[in-house]
Chains A and B, each alone.
Chain A
């Protein structure tokens, strides 16, 4: 729980999965691989004592624009979906300053848990068409994938390696407060 509560009504906020996304970007040569997870879930709990954000994503739902790459990402060379089917996150602190938000907590990838801090923007709350409050958090952070054992790479014929170790995680989270 944080000591700095977000300026929104207390209660449990469920993730609207249609309007949310969990994506990642890995620099590759001069470009980048972009991918996302189709299946994920999350929850934001706001109380007078503070706030907490938790979420999970299914590794098998990894979505990239190439079926062979998707298969490779799920294999032991990368995420090892068979042994570690989920990624997870649990916050220990959420700090809001105007529209800026900073979330810190523990992320678990391939069975390895590390502390991280993500920063971004908060928008809302705004009442949706059903009259329920909605809130949007846009968060970004960068992790070193090799710290989680996601270490595959390939030597380039001219020297250097094909894939960056630093991966940017982009979470676009749209929450709706439970009635």
Chain B
């Protein structure tokens, strides 16, 4: 099972990217997490550019999503919401809505912030956006507050966060299995 991991932070020492690396290291047997690092290359959405030959970075993202069984997002929170660059990339993937590769795709959202709230509002808004474009959104969050202490030096040192992260990825893998079973039965 292949899970695409997308961080909404471009920063080299990002706490959110560190969360995804930790998730990859602890993925359950049979689950492979692949970190996507093309966010910075995605241009601003422009319907005039959304043609058969879309920008290369967009085509690469759409292919990566289509080739994955699930997607795990880690989002920081900018002004109580999802970073524009991440929302922009999702907007590209979502077009056209009826056939976009996130449709029916199991997805989960986690988030980290240096404050105490752990990007809860950004996570909620990202879940709403993913639901609107037809994804199968895992109804749970992982809010890692005080990230500078809990994810120091680019590594998640908090055992509780690691256990929750591992459990959440397990839940996401269960949704993939349930989807396969439902499709086989339908």
> Cβ of B182 and Cβ of A76 under 8 Å apart?
no
Taking the closest CB of chain B, its distance from the CB of A12, in whole angstroms, is 28
A67-B98, A82-B104, A83-B179 known; A72-B132 Cβ under 8 A: yes
Closest to A67 in B: B98
> Cβ of A75 and Cβ of B134 under 8 Å apart?
yes
Closest to A68 in B: B97
Contacts of B182 in A (CB 8 A): 82-84
| Complex partner residue of A152 from B131, B135, B186, CB under 8 angstroms | B131
Contacts of B104 in A (CB 8 A): 75-76, 82
| Complex partner residue of A85 from B103, B133, B136, B186, CB under 8 angstroms | B186
| Complex CA distance for A77 and B98, rounded to whole angstroms | 14
> Cβ of A70 and Cβ of B183 under 8 Å apart?
no
> Cβ of A83 and Cβ of B183 under 8 Å apart?
yes
Type the 1/0 row for A68-93, where 1 means its CB is closer than 8 Å to any CB of B. Answer: 10111011110000111100000000
Instruction: Say what secondary structure dominates the interface of chain A.
Output: loop
A67-B98, A71-B103 known; A76-B135 Cβ under 8 A: yes
Contacts of B134 in A (CB 8 A): 71-72, 74-77
A75-B103, A82-B104, A84-B186 known; A67-B131 Cβ under 8 A: no
Interface check B137, CB cutoff 8 A: yes
| Complex CA distance for A75 and B131, rounded to whole angstroms | 8
| Complex CA distance for A157 and B182, rounded to whole angstroms | 37
Taking the closest CB of chain B, its distance from the CB of A61, in whole angstroms, is 13
Type the 1/0 row for A121-163, where 1 means its CB is closer than 8 Å to any CB of B. Answer: 0000000000000000000000000000000100000000000
Chain B stretch 126-160: residues in CB contact (< 8 A) with chain A: 131-137
> Cβ of A76 and Cβ of B98 under 8 Å apart?
no
> Cβ of B137 and Cβ of A70 under 8 Å apart?
no
**B-side interface residues toward A, CB under 8 Å?**
97-98, 103-104, 131-137, 179, 182-183, 186
13 A-B pairs in the complex with CB atoms less than 8 angstroms apart: A68-B97, A71-B134, A75-B131, A76-B104, A76-B134, A76-B135, A76-B136, A76-B137, A77-B132, A77-B134, A82-B183, A83-B182, A83-B186
